Structure 1
Amino acid sequence: MAQASLSSTDLEIARVQSLGYEGWIDDEMKKPFGSKNVAILMQKGLADVANKNSLTGADSMMWRRLINSSDVLRQRVALALSEIVVVSLGIEGIRFRQFAMAYYWDTLELNAFGNYRDLLEQISKSPAMGTWLTFKGNRKASGNSLPDENYAREIMQLFTIGVYELNIDGTVKLFNGKPKETYTQDDVSQLARVFTGWDLDTSTGTNDTPDAVYRPMVQIAKYHETGTKTFLGTTIPANTSGEASLQTALNTLMAHSNIAPFISRQLIQRLVTSNPSISYVARVAGIFNDNGKGVRGDLAAVIKAVLLDTEARSASRLSNVTFGKLREPVLRFVHWARNFGYTDPADNWNIGDTSDPASRLGQSPLRSSSVFNFFRPGYIPPSSFIGQRTAPEFQITTETSVAGYINFMQNVISNGIASIKADYSKLVPLATDSNKLLAELNTSLAANQLSATTITNFKTALDSIAATTTTGQNNRIYAAILLVMSCPEYLTQK
């Protein structure tokens, strides 16, 4: 549940036990897609012109999805994908950003168990991505003006093939003892010519309606570069249409040997462990290349391979100090909210932007400050006991964010946010017995990873809180949850 879901209630644990790991995954992948985020924003009246230049409803959209959706595996994978093919609510230069981002998240959800090739095409036509990486309205060369190269560079560097040539196991290939770059500046310039002529579809609606930002961009032929384009060993002949050029470019990227290990390793990092072995990466990359039916890029097969791999499922990994990952702050908060029935009867989900590391989580969904995500997949903490191992989430872990997270959680655990509160009714009967209270939280939150020493220390702290009154019982519950969610055994997902 820690690797594949967003929470771990008794009912959810029982469901996994009943269906088995693979059965649970299959059942999750069969769940119908819920109401699209764009439709929900419409129903809430956010298409009003008053919201044209605001982000009203955008954060609420994300929290509603992560906390309230029943298709937990789809949401977990969509969140992982959002940190690989990154777009942020910080985009500027587009109206009705909440609708543009709702359409983008819908795209991630719809393709979470689809094909990576289809996902690449849809994000390449997304108004949010077109604006974020500045190729919306990109025009062919004219005079001293050249096509914008932003998306051409990032789709290679971050979304598909990476910077250096890789082996199937994700290790860097060496040529005469040195790594070889996957692309050159000329490849970037030539590929940029493919991404010309794409702009918003304004065939219906007006500037005061969001219609154009929640449907694919369209090709405007007169602005597309029709000359020959040569990149990554592929040549697109002169006078090829913009749409056909895009298809060829994406097919070229999907055929590159790097894409399987590059994307597979990041999905393992986002779901299971920061430092997957090279054999783990190779096994998953092999499924990316061929799902067993000759299909390349099948994300359903890849996700299943990630979660069912022997390294993900072997109990021996629980005692391996190099295995696991630091839980992202957003996942910690969502875990608490879902485990304790955090609901909003008004369906407003006014949790807001939680990016501030000093007073909130230090991370907020779809609010990365750059296309490089909240943290880099190759980040290695300097001067750390971790050594030369990657630990991406530690890039946003500082003295400030550690204290900010604890202070934020202390408040929301006991008070909720606005009118929204959690339901601790299941814990109330256990409050007078700190052993039973800790045992329940150790299972439901920490997957029984709390050490005997930690439990002893927590019991001493909890027993110092008198539980003879309702207030005392509640305070003991609040303290127990906070202690568990602040300790290393919980913060480290095994």
Structure 2
Amino acid sequence: MLRDSEIAVADNPPAEPQPEPAPLAAAAALTALLAACGGGGGGDAPGPAPAPVPAPAPPPVGAAEAARFLAQATPGAGKGEILAVQAGGFAAWIEAQFALPQSQSHYDWLAAHGYNDEKYRNNATGLDNTIWRKLIASPDGLRQRVTLALSEICVVSVLGVSTPWRQFAVANYLDLLENNAFGNYRTLLRQISLSTAMGYYLTFRGNAKANPATGSEPDENYARELMQLMTLGLYKLNADGTPQASETYGQADVSGLARVFTGWDLDVSGLASPLPPDVHRRPMAQVASRYESGSKSFLGTTIAAATAAPAALDAALDTLFGHPNLPPFIGRQMIQRLVTSNPSPAYVARVAAAFADNGAGVRGDMKALVRAILLDAEARDLVTASAPSFGKLREPVTRFLNWARAFGAASAGDTWSVNDLSDPATKLGQSPMRSPSVFNFFRPGYVPPNSAIAAGGLAAPEFQITTESSVAGYVNFMQLAVSGAGIGDVKSGYPTLLPLAADSRALLAELNLVLAANQLSATTLATLAAALDSVAAGSDSGKLNRIWAALTLVLASPEYIVQK
């Protein structure tokens, strides 16, 4: 595992100055100025109050703007959702997504489909199925996109969860992320800190207090990564996310915080042996003999000796949650996952301010964070989007999900047998909840060496998993996925595309809108149309062949793969 010093430079690059989006409040300022300069004189009685002026309607949303917004806000969306955004606007769509109920939990789906049978005790069978089920088919696209982003910040990987019923442990962890995707980050921190999946993954389950006789010390793994990756980062930050020269914490802080995470272990009370999967739905419980009851000092805070373990945990999390680094540190990473790899400091500052205070004095409000990221002028302004420094490489997983959700890919038997897609040579080189390390599939500050991106002082996180092998593997995989073969039992029949198949330009126009938000240039479209015209479309099978070819070509186009 990489140490702090090895990733410090890559994960905390100095922010490049970028032009600010044009101010949007000029009209409001002028109105306020005119009001302040109003009525003059003497002692005349005031006249009747003027009738209230209704708030102006939001400007109409074009189809391409709606598709671009949905590319940031969901794992993928079809024509119907584009029309819904056009009809109601960005903010109304977000609020409607907040109001959607959650679909069946990962844990409950596994149990309902028999993965609690003894033959699955010592493997992860079923986990990939339920993950793809939700990401592809759950109607709450915004919640699923935020959950996926959180899973890449607060990382747990099934590859490092060594316990019976690990599919249930990781499923429950993913359920916690989803349950709190529109909740409060402080609540999420406590729940993941007591989850069995995290306890196993970052090795503090069963953590014991120091033993002077043997010289053993508490395991420091979770304490370090909780600070470094999930709350604060390595360096103190300004409110706009730009780094200061001093480090956020030192080894003494890690050691002091590690004392908080002693004594926590599986809650086995009332459970039969061998343990059933349900042990992983319970928060970990305290084993008093292993808990360090002495004082615990870190980050300028001291938790007094004899403080009970749950109270010490809350005090520690309050310290991390209240640290000034947390809003810009988490805010910037969420912007990177949804919108752009190199947000301007001003964009980060606005998002961090909303995360620090939602307008009602609440810190850590995930809804406020999501609104601030997606509705910010820098996210929505098309002039800003055209800058070479704006945008991000789409993750391989989201490219696959873009296709699946846009065209209603489904599992006829509700089995969702897509499986592990980690192999870069034949699949995606990325599969949710299968990160190779706690640092995610790619680091937020990764810079491709010896590249124009590096020369421009920019970060490009997703390029860390982009290689010659993965580029070819992705195209071959998607060619199979979009065809009649599908992936596992997940496939689409393309009822919305079949009527367009005879006209290659109309077909490409639809795909350009739905998948790429009209980012494909006229030159690219002309090249693709010429290729498609060589595919006969006089029969139903010919039409499908043309659709499959068109999808593969669009999904492989650099103008699609770079999300602007």
**Which bracket does the TM-score occupy, shorter chain normalised?**
over 0.9
Structure 2 distance, partners of 1:419, 1:289, is: 44
Alignment of 1:192-203 (within 5 A): 192-203=258-269
Could you tell me whether the CA contact under 8 Å between 2:416 and 2:489 is conserved in 1?
Answer: no
CA, structure 1 residues 134+486, in 2 after alignment: closer, same or farther (shift >3 Å)? same
Measure the CA separation in 2 of the matches of 1:394 and 1:162: 21
CA contact (8 A) 1:274 1:390 kept: yes
Partner of 2:297: 230
> CA separation in 2, counterparts of 1:224 and 1:157?
24
Distance (whole Å) between structure 2 residues aligned to residue 133 and residue 263 of structure 1: 20
Contact 2:516–2:560 (CA<8 Å) still a contact in 1? yes
Residue 563 of structure 2: aligned partner: 493
Structure 1 residue 91: Cα displacement: 2.1
In the TM superposition, what whole-angstrom CA distance separates every residue of 1:167-210 from its partner, at most 9, and x where no partner exists?
0011111xxxxx11111101101110000000011013232411
Structure 2: runs of 5+ lacking an equivalent: 1-69
Q: How far is the alpha carbon of 1:33 from its aligned partner?
A: 1.9
How far apart, in 1, do the equivalents of 2:418 and 2:513 lie?
27
Question: Offset at 1:471?
Answer: 2.8
Q: Residue type of the partner of 1:286? A: A
Q: In the alignment, what sits opposite 2:205? A: 136
Residue 468 of structure 1, CA deviation: 2.4
Aligned equivalent of 1:469, options 539, 542, 551:
539
Aligned match of 2:490: 420
* Partner of residue 250, structure 2: 184
User: What is the root-mean-square deviation in Å for CA atoms of aligned residues?
Assistant: 1.0
Structure 2 partner of 1:434: 504
Q: Which amino acid aligns with 2:393?
A: L
Q: 1:443 aligns with which of 513, 526, 539?
A: 513
Counterpart in 1 of 2:527? 457
Are the counterparts in 2 of residues 104 and 128 from structure 1 also a CA contact under 8 Å? yes
| Aligned equivalents of 1:19, 1:105: Cα separation in 2 | 31
Residue of structure 2 aligned with 1:36, choices 93, 97, 105: 105
Preserved CA contact (<8 Å) 1:51 1:96: yes
For 1:159 and 1:41, the matched residues in 2 are separated by 28
2:363 alignment partner, one of 293, 296, 302: 296
Deviation at 1:418, TM superposition (A): 3.3
Which amino acid is 2:270 matched to? T
> Secondary structure of the equivalent of 2:297?
strand
Asked if 1 retains the 8 angstrom alpha-carbon contact of 2:512 and 2:519, the reply is yes
Distance 1:345 1:453 in 2: 39
Amino acid at match of 1:72: G
Query: Equivalent residues in 2 for 1:279-318 (5 A)?
Result: 279-318=346-385
Partner of 1:261: 328
The runs of at least 4 consecutive aligned structure 1 residues that moved more than 6 Å come to none
Moved more, 10-19 or 264-273: 10-19
> Of 150, 155, 167, which residue of structure 2 is paired with 1:81?
150
**Amino acid of the residue matched to residue 534 of structure 2?**
S
Q: CA deviation at 1:425?
A: 2.1
**Structure 2 counterpart of 1:176:** none
In structure 2, relative to structure 1, the CA distance for the partners of 1:317 and 1:8 (3 Å cut) is farther
Q: 1:419 to 1:291 in 2, by over 3 A?
A: closer
Would you say 1:146 and 2:217 are equivalent positions?
A: yes
1:201 aligned counterpart, secondary structure: coil
C-alpha separation in 2, matches of 1:318 and 1:165? 29
Distance in 1 between the 2:538 and 2:309 partners?
Answer: 73
Please name the residue that 2:92 is paired with: 23
Q: Provide the residue aligned with 2:34 in structure 1.
A: none
Look up the equivalent residue of 1:111 and give its one-letter code. Answer: N
Match of 1:91 in 2: 160
Residues 410-441 of structure 1, C-alpha deviation per residue, up to 9 Å, x if partnerless?
11111202343212122122112111111111
Q: Which amino acid aligns with 2:559?
A: E
Larger Rg: 2
* CA distance, structure 1, for counterparts of residue 463 and residue 110 of structure 2: 34
Structure 2 letter corresponding to 1:182: T
- Identity, in percent, stands at 58
Matched, 1:159 2:230: yes
Structure 2 match to 1:14: 83
**Residue identity opposite 2:205 in structure 1:** K
Partner residue of 1:249?
316
Q: Report if the CA contact (8 A) 1:91-1:131 is conserved.
A: yes
Equivalence for 2:49: none
1:347-405 per-residue CA deviation (whole Å, 9 max, x = no partner) reads 10000000000000010011101000000001111111113201100100111100000
Q: Deviations over 1:48-84 (max 9, x none)?
A: 2221111010100100010010111000000000000
SS in 2 for 1:2: helix
Does the CA contact (< 8 Å) of 1:191 and 1:229 recur in 2?
yes
* Partners of 1:191 and 1:249 within 8 A in 2: yes
1:12 offset after TM fit, Å?
A: 0.4
SS in 2 for 1:180: strand
**Normalised TM-score (structure 2):** 0.86
SS at match of 1:235: strand
2:446 aligned with 1:379:
yes
Residue 126 of structure 1: how far off its partner (Å): 0.5
Kept in 2: contact 1:380–1:391 (CA 8 A) = yes
